[in-house]
Amino acid sequence: MTSIKLAVIPGDGIGQEVVPEALKVLAAATPEGVTFEQTHYEIGAERYLATGEVLTDEVLADIRTKDAILLGAVGGKPGDPNLPPGILERGLLLKLRFELDHYVNLRPSKLFPGAASPLANPGEIDFVVVREGTEGPYTGNGGSIRVGTPQEVATEVSLNTAFGVERVVRDAFARAQKRRKKLTLVHKTNVIVNAGKIWSRLVAEVGAEYPDVAVDYQHVDAMMIHLVANPSQFDVIVTDNLFGDIVTDLAAAVTGGIGLAASGNVNPDRTTPSMFEPVHGSAPDIAGQQIADPTAAIGSVALMLDHLGYPEAAAKIDAAIVKDLESRQGQGPRKTAEVGDAIAALVVAG
């Protein structure tokens, strides 16, 4: 019997609703001879409001001993006066990503049969965004002076190291070589020239080792057009932490909605547990109503199983998601738990 230690962090808002469905499907898809030994961590807004704690060293040390992490979402209602901006996003989510060196934020975007794209002619959409996960403007490299005065100055400096950029670019090229052999760098090199130079240079240098992978480039603003006008042209997209955050919300929208978009925060070196989570946030606007779509969290379980070496179990979940999406046409709205039940049943039915 193989025992896998899984950290489960449902988090806030709809995270509490979609994670139980993801676990339901994990139970249905778990291969024979394997068990997932779950440890649940109730960390997030509620814990912070009750205790002032976000992610203590003890909890982080415990999570570090696990084989993988499943996370729902963290964060409160934007503008909530009880939650300092970023307290959970930076103090919990990004802290996990940074401390566990999740430098590949993997976000596949596929228009599954049965999913409803808002585009009139979406074509076949099947690309992967490899978003850098530990650097960029999200590292807290900045500050404010003369706060609250008309002379206030605030900086949020984007951090880009040759080490950090090269390793994620290498990962993206390796993925492109196994796929349709096309890599698109997305940046804003015409304006953000210093960071742009390091990204362009390392894509060119690493690309020289992959002569069979075609490389192109899009500025991030134009990328918003191309993702809507002709998304099927993309195969692997590599980009920084901020641009990747933005690109993947739009990618989710064109492939049927944020409720379907799965992701992994991966440490390819496997020195720490990787973390799997839906692309979406805690969605306070719909939380507590059982109307959130759990498919993104369920798809994240498939990414986790694949990462842990169980590609067949992952494929079963993906196939069940496709079947469920096909069955949605003509169906009325279902509760979050009903979607989870349906996908789990489809996994069992094989």
Ligand X SMILES: NC(=O)C1=CN([C@@H]2O[C@H](COP(=O)(O)OP(=O)(O)OC[C@H]3O[C@@H](n4cnc5c(N)ncnc54)[C@H](O)[C@@H]3O)[C@@H](O)[C@H]2O)C=CC1
Nearer to ligand X, 134 or 282 (CB): 282
Work out how close the CB of 44 gets to ligand COI at its nearest, in angstroms, rounded to a whole number: 13
Work out how close the CB of 88 gets to ligand X at its nearest, in angstroms, rounded to a whole number: 7
Q: Concatenate the DSSP letters of all residues of 2-51 into one string.
A: EEEEEEEEEESTTHHHHHHHHHHHHHHHPPTTEEEEEEE---SHHHHHHH
- Identity (one letter) of the amino acid at 155? T
Among residues 19, 26, 70, 93, which is the contact residue for ligand COI, using CB under 6 A? 93
215 binds, among ligand X, Mg ion, ligand COI, none (CB under 5 to 8 A by kind): none
Q: With contacts defined by CB under 6 A, how many residues of the chain interact with ligand COI?
A: 5
Contacts of 47 (CB under 8 A, 6+ apart): 53, 54
Work out how close the CB of 281 gets to ligand X at its nearest, in angstroms, rounded to a whole number: 2
CA-wise closest residue to 244 among 107, 75, 126, 93: 107
What does the DSSP 8-state code read for residue 231? G
Nearer to ligand COI, 73 or 305 (CB): 73
Query: Do 154 and 144 form a contact (C-beta atoms < 8 A)?
Result: yes
Where on the chain is the footprint of ligand X (CB under 6 A)? Answer: 14, 18, 73-76, 78, 89, 93, 258-259, 277, 280-286, 292-293, 296
Rounded Cα–Cα distance for residues 2 and 284 (Å) = 38
Residue 25 to residues 77, 92, 111, 297, 321, Cα–Cα distance (Å): 28, 26, 21, 10, 10
Q: Catalytic site residue 138?
A: yes
Residue from 101, 245, 306, 318 carrying the catalytic annotation: 245
Q: Would you mind telling me the total number of residues written for the chain in this entry?
A: 350
94 binds, among ligand X, ligand COI, Mg ion, none (CB under 5 to 8 A by kind): ligand COI
Q: Catalytic site residue 216?
A: no
**Contact string 264-303 vs ligand COI (x = CB under 6 A):** ---------------x------------------------
Neighbour tally for 221: CB within 10 Å: 12
Residue from 80, 126, 249, 341 carrying the catalytic annotation: 249
Is 245 a residue that touches Mg ion (CB under 5 A)? yes
Q: Name the residues annotated as catalytic.
A: 138, 188, 221, 245, 249
Per CB under 5 A, residues contacting Mg ion are: 245
